[in-house]
Structures are given as structure tokens and as C-alpha cells.
A and B are shown apart, each in its own frame.
Chain A
């Protein structure tokens, strides 16, 4: 039986178990006497359904993860020994061939050994599915039977069900922790492998980035350079341009919306501005590449400036537009959090509205606004699609926004998209850059969140 059918069958059987459990509980209690039961009849049903479903589902899950490698190993085992002694890269290619042969998508004639292995693969898969179906159905029925026997007038079904439910809730909350651990481990392990090939100091302080690894060792320029400094300066340059656009516009519009505008204007302008945050970044990237970049290049040509065709200015400008609502809605929150008493005090002293805002409200809201801006910087640094589509690929160590620079995220994408061999420093470099990016944004986020949190408590 296929796993999806099996899954549906298990779920159907569990639903049946629910009704059986509830029915039995009602039967024990007698006609309309459910009051005598410890729990509501439904809880007995849930109890039985849980026993029917959970062990079976757990088995399916374990099987799903473990089955692939075991079957592959079984298929590889029937390959003639001279093939299996090949180096690991070739072996993985062969495994790929087998998989393709299994799915029937391999082009051309097949090696008989590969075909034999593919047949073996299919056969093992068939065995595995049959075995799984039998086991799962046994466990499903067995669990249900076990629970059915335990149902009794004094059985505390509700407590058991609630216990399971609470455990499920805790497990879900822990997913966040696992995600973080997963991120850290996955980028860290690959980065460590990268740092075995390229020294950390070269990665952190090297001024040259050209990850071209030659295919043959005698090729010209065979050693790539993995200095991340030009990438970081490029990222910071584009983020800076973005902030130069986003901070004044975002901040001033937040001030206008929260201090000056009437409720009607605010109710239309604020959601409209927030549309900017909901537009997918790939759309911004397209807009940058199609409209803004040529516009800036033409503008440069007309004014006699030498503007690169993929200037940092264009990418930064569009990124800034994207971040405007981010800055404005965060600042809005903090400006609104400043107590009205402070404003009233300033007005009583004769300050105009703008003086109040500049000299009383803004200083009071400043820590929060700074935290918000830091969060925006972190978002700009991690932004990918705009720079992939509108910024350059060549690593340039420059602070001139009219030149083309590349960013950390652009390089991660170019290193990992397309054909890749998993152990080359090129691929591993992407993970090292990922680690760098993660740590950089993490530091910014922690500082920003701390400032924001502290500030929020201040006026509460």
C-alpha cells in the first residue's frame, strides 16, 4: 500500500475508534447517565483514537525518514564490487542514475548493472511498503484494542487526553528552538568544513573575493580567493543607501500620520503605505532592474557622471522604498507610545507643534525609533532578491554608490544556484557567508529587540 493511502486509512480507523470509545463509555454509564462517568464520553473516544493513531503515525514517520537510505544501500549492494569501490562522488552519481532509472526519467540506454540495481530498488521498495502496511495496521488495531479494554466508569480519560494535548502544545512551541538550533548547526558545520580549506583569517580579513575554483588543477587562476571584506562593504553600502531613503521618508511620514493628520487621512494613507511592505521582493527586484537602473544610468550619462549599469545606488534606492513602511510603522508605534502629558506640558510652555515633536516627543521616542531602524538595517542586510536582480556580481571594494558592488546574499545565491558539487569550497563558502549573515543580523536583532523592549516598558 502506498504511504498516502495508508495514512488516510489510519486516520479513518482512528475516527472509527473515536466513535467506538465514546459509544462504549455511554454504554457503561447506561441510558442518559453520562454523569456517572469520570469524563465526558467524548474524552473516552479521544483516548481511544489517540491510541489508535499516534503509535501508527510515529511508525510511518520513522519509516519515511529511514527507508530511503536503507533501500539505497540495498540497491547499491547488488552493484558489482568494481563499481562500488569508486570514490564517494562517483558513487553518489551512480545512486542518482539508479534513482533516475527507477523513476523512468533516465535518458538513453542503461548500464545493465544500474538496471539491475534499479530493479532491486523497486523490489525493496515494494517489500518495505508491504511490511509497513502490515505493521501499521497491527499497531493501529492493537492500540485501539488496548485503549478499548481500559475504558471503565472510573477511568480518567480527560486527564490522559489533556496530558497528551499539553505535550503536543509544548512540542509545537519547541519547534522554534529546534529551528534556531538547526540553522546554527547547519551553517556552522558546513562553515567549519570550509574553514578547514580556507583559513578563517583569510575569510574575515581578505580583500579579494573571486570564488572561481578551477575544474582542473593546472588551469590558470586555479585558486579562488575567499576574502569577505568586499562583500561586507558592498552589503553595507547598499544598506546605507537604503536607509538614507527609508529613514527620513519613513520617520517623517510616521510623524505626520501620528501627530498631524486627521483620522480619515490616516485611515487611508497608512494602509496604502503598508502595501509597499506586502509586495514580494522579487517584484521590487524586477522594478529595480527594469525601471530604476536604466533611469539612473541615463541620468548619470546626461549629467556626465560615470554610473555603472548595476550601480549600488539603484539597488539601494529600491530597497529603501521597500523598507519605508517598516520604518514608518515601527516609529508610529513608538511615537504613539509617548504619553500625551509630555505633549501637553510642552504646549503649556508655548511650544509650537513642530517644536514639541522635535524637542519633546522625538527625544522621548528616540530609543524605540533607533531600535526600529536597527531592525530595518538588519532586514536590508538580509534582503536577497532585489540585490540578486539589480546589483552586480563582481566584488568591488569601494564606497562609491555609483559603482557596482556585490553583497553577501547575492554571492550565496550565485554560489548555490545551478550545478554544485557538495564538497567544493565554493559551495561551502556559501554556508560560511550564511553564518556571517546570520551572526550579523542576530547581533543587530538582539540589540534592537533589547532597546525596543526596554523602551516599551518605560511608559507602560
Chain B
């Protein structure tokens, strides 16, 4: 009995200690919890920052400033030989037409410097548009009409207020600003959808540069990737999961695939350069080689996803198929594969989305070339959307920043659609056994 008293006081002391420590421990608990929440919020904040900075920089590229000008199709300028033949018409000085119209609007501009500034008011595609019009309708020569024409990219930036404070402007910009205000006062300025951004190939001039060439290049490249990586990846997954005996060879293949999934993408580019281009002599910069490289890169992703989809099909399905007399190949292809297909496709789409956004290996095989023409075949030189973004991001012109962001928005839209499709597939066909 006696020795119970010190025990209970001991116990009492421990409890006191615990109770005394509790506030501190509770604070630590709260702190720890807050750290976790703060981390998640920080991650989401980065996401918001990323999207908001790109959207705020890029959304203006989808609209473009146009000015209404009275164009007189002066035969002396566009057809000096007077033959009215398409050949000689194509070589006319169409920029002179809008320049003349602008000088009529601003007759007080006589200073040489200012005249030169005014001569750079409209974009490089303004003259082109006039030429196309005349070539398709030669009877316009000599007539006058009012047309909405795109301004130069610097003026466009000015109109969108992207060039900062007015008091920091150079003399030339101040002049342009003044003219723009006069034109705006007359209601001759409007913003319209920038269709050229979607329909043109690349260009050195920001106002004529578009993403169509890159979109088509991406489409060709992805087509090669899909048509190779999907069948090969699914077949490899089926073999490894359903037929392969467990031995050293299949172990080696497995380790290999896991490793390949973690090899830096640029190394695949080096492989493409050394093997497909230098060894096989496939055309440089072509979607064919790009697609092959991306195939090798996405295969491990597709195989790993495919195997886990096959794994999730319960053995009872297999046993039932074998029980009614199917061969093992029939069992896999007629019973297991249809059930695993949605899961496999989900993984494949995610892998392909990554391939669509990939650029580093494509730099290695020459898809960074400056290519104006829209690619027409698997072997014509082309670029892809992410590489186009990289090229534009490197360009010093102010207007390219806007275009880069807009191209990113287009790329992200494609990726969202692809990932959305994957999520839809998973939601629609996911089965719990």
C-alpha cells in the first residue's frame, strides 16, 4: 500500500507534465497543419500566376488594329507597263497605294523624317492584301474603294496600350500616337479578329506571323506518333503482362522500360539525330523523324499505363474465357483487351499530350528552322507548336511577346482538350471490380 503513493504522485507528475506540454503541442500541430495548407496554396498560386500572366499578355494577340483607308488603285504604280498581265501586276508597288492614301489624310506631314515614320504606319500584309485583291479583280485598277487594312505591329502595340507611358515615347512614337488619335477621332480605327494569326505560317514580321504552319507540323508529327506508339505500346503491354514468362529477359525489358521513362527527353533527340538522320538518312526537320523520336519517348508511358490497365482486369474474366474453350490469344484479345482498353487509352492520351508539348528532342533533329511554308507532307521541313513558341520567345520584337503568349494559349487549349478527353474516358468507362 505504501509504495502506491509515490507511484500515484509520479503518475500525477507525468500527467501534469503532459498537460503543461499540451498547449505547445497543440500549437505545433496547428503550425504543421498550416505549413501543409500554405504549401498547397503556394502551388496553386504559382499556377494562377502562370496562367494569369500568360493570358494577360496573350489575349490581345487575337485581335488586331485596322485602319480604314480610301485606296485608289493607281495604274501608274501597280502596273507601270500597262499590260494588265498578272505577272507584271504581281510586281507592282502596292505599298505606295496605302502610303498615298495616308499622305492624303495627313497633308501637313512634309518633314522627311515624319514622312518616313508615316510610311511605316501600315503593316507588311497591307500591301499584300491589296495585291491579292487586284490580282483577283483586275477591273479595280483606276477605281477607288475604302478598305480596312492592318496597321504595323508597332502601331498595333501602341493602340493596345502595350508600350508603356506616353512621356517615355520616342519622337517617332509620339507622332504615330498623334496620328492614331486623329484617325480614332474620325472613326477610322477598329479592332477586329486577327485571322492571320490562325491562318499564316511563320514570318519575320510579327504582323504577318501566324501559327498555322506550326499547327499543321504538330498534327503531322502527332499523327506519326499516334500511329506508331499506340499499336506498339499496347502490343508490348499485352506481351509483358499476359504472355511473357517470368525470367531474366522479361525482367531486363521491365527495368529497361522503367528507365526509359525517366531518361531526359533531349537524349531521345540525340538518338534521333544519330540514328534516324545520320544513319538512315531520313529528311531533317521533318515530321516523320519528329514523330519517330516522340514515339520512342512516349512508348514507356503507354506501356506502363497499359500494363496497369491490364492488371486491373480480374482473373475470373480470363478463367471464364479459358473455361469455354478460348485459346490464350483469343482470351486476351476477345475478353481482356476490350475491358482494359479505356484504361489503356487514358494512359495513351496523357502520354500523347506530353508528346504534343515536347520541344527539346525536336530541337536536336532540326525542327527549329525558320519555316514560312505550311508543311504539306510527312517529309517536308516543318516546325511544331512548342518549338514555334520557343522561336518567338527568342525574338526581340515587342509584338512577338504577345504572339508567343497567344500561341501558348492555343497549345494549352489543345492540351486541355486532350486531357479532358482522358478524364472523360476514365469517368465514363472506369469499372471497379
Contacts and interface: CB of A to CB of B under 8 A. Distances in A.
B170 interface: no
B256 interface: yes
Contacts of B356: 280
A445 interface: yes
Contacts of A405: none
A249 B42 contact: yes
Contacts of B256: 176-177, 180
A202 B263 CA distance: 26
Contacts of A328: 43
Contacts of B253: 173-174, 176-177
A169 B264 CA distance: 27
A413 B366 CA distance: 11
Given A177-B252, A280-B357, A389-B393, A273 B265 contact: no
A166 B263 CA distance: 28
A355 interface: yes
Interface in A153-202: 158, 162, 165-166, 168-170, 172-177, 179-180, 182-183, 186-187, 189-190
B264 A383 contact: yes
5 contacts: A165-B329, A177-B253, A180-B259, A287-B50, A437-B267
Contacts of A286: 54, 389, 393, 404-405, 408
Contacts of B26: 352
Given A282-B390, A352-B25, A257 B40 contact: yes
Contact of A446 (B29, B259, B299, B358): B259
B1 to A, nearest CB: 29
Nearest to A252: B39
A412 interface: yes
Given A290-B401, A385-B359, A385-B360, A412 B25 contact: no
Contacts, number: 254
A375 B262 contact: yes
A108 interface: no
A438 interface: yes
Interface in A395-431: 409, 412-413, 416-417, 422, 430-431
Interface stretch (B97-105, B108-116, B139-147, B411-419): B411-419
The A contact surface, by secondary structure, is: helix
B415 A434 contact: no
Contact of A412 (B243, B259, B270, B368): B270
Contact of A253 (B43, B267, B303, B411): B43
Nearest to A166: B243
A358 B363 contact: no
Contacts of B37: 256, 260
Given A68-B281, A280-B411, A290-B57, A187 B274 contact: yes
A279 interface: yes
Interface string A233-268: 000000000000000111111011101100000000
A384 interface: yes
Nearest to B233: A172
A385 B390 contact: yes
B18 A350 contact: yes
Closest 5 CB pairs of A and B: A382-B264, A256-B36, A280-B357, A186-B274, A169-B239
A173 B264 CA distance: 21
A86 interface: no
A183 B36 contact: no
A412 B274 CA distance: 14
A326 to B, nearest CB: 11
Interface centre among A251, A282, A379, A383 (most CB of B within 10 A): A282
B408 A358 contact: no
Interface in B220-276: 231-233, 235-236, 238-240, 243-244, 252-253, 255-260, 262-268, 270-271, 273-275
Interface of B: 18, 25-26, 28-29, 32-33, 35-40, 42-44, 46-47, 49-50, 53-54, 57, 231-233, 235-236, 238-240, 243-244, 252-253, 255-260, 262-268, 270-271, 273-275, 278, 280-281, 296, 299-300, 303, 327, 329, 353-354, 356-360, 363-364, 368, 386-387, 389-390, 393-394, 401, 404-405, 408, 411-412, 415, 419
B393 A253 contact: no
Contacts of A187: 267, 270-271, 274
A241 to B, nearest CB: 15
B36 A283 contact: no
Contacts of A180: 256, 259-260
Nearest to B228: A175
Given A287-B54, A434-B267, A422 B239 contact: no
Interface of A: 65, 68-69, 158, 162, 165-166, 168-170, 172-177, 179-180, 182-183, 186-187, 189-190, 248-253, 255-257, 259-260, 269, 272-273, 275-276, 278-287, 289-291, 321, 324-325, 328, 350, 352-355, 357-358, 375, 378-379, 381-385, 388-389, 409, 412-413, 416-417, 422, 430-431, 434, 437-438, 441-442, 445-446, 449
B53 A273 contact: no
A450 B273 CA distance: 31
A409 B266 contact: yes
Nearest to B401: A290
Given A176-B253, A449-B258, A260 B264 contact: no
A446 B255 CA distance: 9
Contact of B271 (A174, A186, A279): A186
A357 B32 contact: yes
A153 to B, nearest CB: 19
A328 B244 CA distance: 33
B236 A256 contact: no
A183 B267 contact: yes
B239 A353 contact: no
B263 A69 contact: no
B270 A431 contact: yes
Contact of A291 (B39, B53, B260, B386): B53
Nearest to A357: B32
Interface centre among A253, A375, A413 (most CB of B within 10 A): A253
Nearest to A324: B43
B235 A354 contact: no
A179 B253 CA distance: 11
Contacts of A441: 262-264, 267
B46 A166 contact: no
